[in-house]
Every structure is written in structure tokens, then in C-alpha cells.
Copies of this chain bind each other. A is one copy, B any other.
Amino acid sequence: MASLGELERAVMDLLWAGQEAATANTLRDLLAQSTRPQDGSAGHEGKDLAVTTVLTVLSRLERKGLVERERGTRPHRYQAVSSRADHTAELMHEVLGSAPDREAVLARFIGSVTDNEAETLRKLLGRS
């Protein structure tokens, strides 16, 4: 699985954000509005895209297994297959698995984790 393009990522973000399945048009509108207010993270600034563009992206995401569509309803409804957290965790495992010396990688990884994250990890790992 490769890294998503910018638009693909933006669409996934929207799908992950909304709990409801969305239609292509809804997404198109959301993309148009999103001046990315709160987190000012760079990226697309309220792109005004053609619906077909959004559809194409959705199809590609579907082909990659990231998105699922309800074909029954007429305006097809799209939604992310897995949550953003799941997807991201999976990616992390993929990256981790790409190196033969996993332990070494984990050591480096833990080495540069914030205190809060370290605490979170300790809790998650529990004892045993």
C-alpha cells in the first residue's frame, strides 16, 4: 500500500471525520469549503473541483481498499473502510515490518517519543 496523494488524503480525512457515509457531491462541497480553518495545516485551500474529479478519486480509493461504497442507494454513499486510527496503526506496522531488525527500530522509535506518549504506551502495555 502506498502513500496517498494530496487530494486522496483530503478525501480520506473528510470520510474519517464524518461518521456518516457521504455522497460524492457532499464531499465535493466539503472540499470547496474547507479552508482548513482550525489546524491551518498546509494543503489544498478550498478547491473547487468537478464532481467527476471527486468520483475518480473515490474510485481509486475504493480500488485501494480504503473506501467502501453502497451501490444500492442512488446517490452512492461512500465511507472509509477502517478508522483513521486503524489505518495509521496499520501503516506503522507496515513500516516497522519493512526493516529486518524490528527491535532496533522499536528502540529508536521509543527513544524519540514524547513523555505523554511514553506514558500512554506504558498504560497500554500494562504489566505482565
A residues near B (Cβ < 8 Å) are 2-3, 39, 83-86, 88-93, 95-96, 98-113, 117-118, 120-122, 124-125
Contacts and interface: CB of A to CB of B under 8 A. Distances in A.
Copies of this chain, count: 2
Is the contact region of chain A dominated by helix, strand, or loop, or is it mixed? helix
B92 A88 contact: no
Contacts of A118: 125
A91 B95 contact: yes
5 contacts: A85-B107, A88-B105, A106-B124, A107-B124, A118-B125
Contacts of A85: 99, 101, 104-105, 107-108
Given A125-B121, A125-B122, A84 B99 contact: yes
